[in-house]
Structure 1
């Protein structure tokens, strides 16, 4: 009997030992699992933090790259950052070509194109300008500023050109009924065209340059409208040279040779100036202007002119 009790006691001790060992094994396994989970979670957190850091770094780099990209629009202007190097204040240019002051010392020419955007001719003009390494100011009609032409407008900023306002409708009957300026209509069209520009180029785009359809010189009684536009921060400008592509058919050039002769001869009708603002058109029917543009550029280069844009 005593021996049996001893055996039972030994078995209980063995059983207890096994239970202890089993518990230790379970605890070890549980601890290992918890440790692995903790490590995995830590790795996930670290990975997430690293991903966030990379994302933030990438975002900052992208923003920095965008800020450093001089082909981007200069905030509050009508041209790119790079174009600031050859952009001239429109008021100074206007005063100079009208003989009212000599605010500009440089011998500079401003190539200007009215009545775009034309989906065919405007890109052709831009390609020629790019080939010759010069820039221009485009006076667009507001109704052409559409999503279909958005890429052309954006390209003009990217390639260093300037953008200006040429009314919404270009309709003389609306703007000058009976040859009398309709001030409210003109101001309204200028503002609506600005809104059309900003719908594509963003709120940072701002052009304060306006050319009256037909030219300021063609109409009388614009003084009050000039003042109303000035209150909107808008300055008008005409030209003091032209290629004749919008003249009556009886005198309009029909070849590149006659267009160059017309351009050269047009200077005599304006006050003599070392600053030239050239009127051309990039709308349907002006293929001769596009054809002659390389010669026009060479004409001014040969005379030592630099090429500017209006701001």
Structure 2
């Protein structure tokens, strides 16, 4: 009987010890599990914080290069963007709204998928910026990356009609106001299709220039009513002049450009006409010299807004 009682007692002790071990194991498991959850939670919190920080940095980076809402250039470009009306009045001798030596390099008739990027590469190399007057029919998805690059690299974009067709715009050398306005509107729509609804340019250059046509006053007013200002130039490299006088070397192009100033009111504010379309390879070749020409004279480079 005593042996049986002893065996029963030993069995009870074993069961009790197992129960204690089970309880200790459960407690240790719970403590480990809680610690694991705390570590995981801390890691997740850190990941979220890092993600937010990265997103914030990315947003900041985007802000520095994104289109300035309601304009034709990026936010960063505002430091060297000049009001087109003030520039226009200055180069026409009607005011001195723009002070100092400022030059505006302007390129007409793009986008050309070959020459326009070459022009942009040179501008980037020399650290200067330009205003591009694009023809609306060239504003296509295929050229969209070039257009976006112009914004992100600090250039300005302007309107140069949809067709650049003199017979449509000035039939019989008489301005067709409805056609001109329609083409300006359609070109703006093409810009927005690529750059978004926040893009707007208030700058227009008449194909052939304002000075080439009579009777544009009512069309000027119609454009002004839409918040659009036309502008010509007061220097040109001669790349669109008749073949009999068009420069054929970089040296003759520089001489032509320098001499072109005599036809316009004297001012230290210069708007230079050039072209970035097929057949204007000489302009691209001479562009570094043109940039150096103005740098050596102490000019700063601006864009039109």
Secondary structure in 2 matching 1:284: coil
Deviations 1:42-74 (A, max 9, x none): 959986994798289538834763466422211
Cα separation, 2, equivalents of 1:17 and 1:260: 110
Distance 1:32 1:124, change over 3 A: same
Cα separation, 2, equivalents of 1:43 and 1:13: 45
| TM-score of the aligned structures, taking structure 2 as reference length | 0.85
Q: CA deviation at 1:123?
A: 0.5
The equivalent residue for 2:279 is 285
Distance 1:272 1:20, change over 3 A: same
Deviations 1:51-110 (A, max 9, x none): 798289538834763466422211111111121111100000000000001101121000
- Is the aligned partner of 1:159 residue 2:141? no
Cα separation, 2, equivalents of 1:123 and 1:85: 24
- 8 Å contact from structure 1 (residues 137, 161) kept in 2: yes
Q: Which runs of 5+ in 1 are unaligned?
A: 1-6
Q: CA deviation at 1:29?
A: 11
Cα separation, 2, equivalents of 1:216 and 1:270: 14
Secondary structure in 2 matching 1:70: helix
The equivalent residue for 1:60 is 54
Cα separation, 2, equivalents of 1:158 and 1:241: 27
Moved more, 220-229 or 10-19: 10-19
The equivalent residue for 2:6 is 12
Cα separation, 2, equivalents of 1:12 and 1:199: 94
Distance 1:14 1:303, change over 3 A: same
Match of residue 264, structure 1, among 258, 269, 275: 258
Deviations 1:1-27 (A, max 9, x none): xxxxxx999999999999999999999
Q: Which runs of 5+ in 2 are unaligned?
A: none
Moved more, 184-193 or 285-294: 184-193
- Greater Cα radius of gyration, structure 1 or 2: 1
Deviations 1:199-238 (A, max 9, x none): 1111111111000000011111111111111111111000
Distance 1:210 1:22, change over 3 A: farther
Moved more, 154-163 or 28-37: 28-37
Q: CA deviation at 1:301?
A: 1.1
Distance 1:187 1:17, change over 3 A: farther
Cα separation, 1, equivalents of 2:34 and 2:271: 70
Cα separation, 1, equivalents of 2:23 and 2:186: 75
Q: CA deviation at 1:31?
A: 14
- 8 Å contact from structure 1 (residues 87, 308) kept in 2: yes
| TM-score of the aligned structures, taking structure 1 as reference length | 0.84
Q: CA deviation at 1:131?
A: 1.0
- Is the aligned partner of 1:212 residue 2:206? yes
- 8 Å contact from structure 1 (residues 244, 259) kept in 2: yes
- Is the aligned partner of 1:118 residue 2:131? no
Secondary structure in 2 matching 1:23: helix
- 8 Å contact from structure 1 (residues 175, 182) kept in 2: yes
> What's the RMSD between the two structures over aligned residues?
3.3
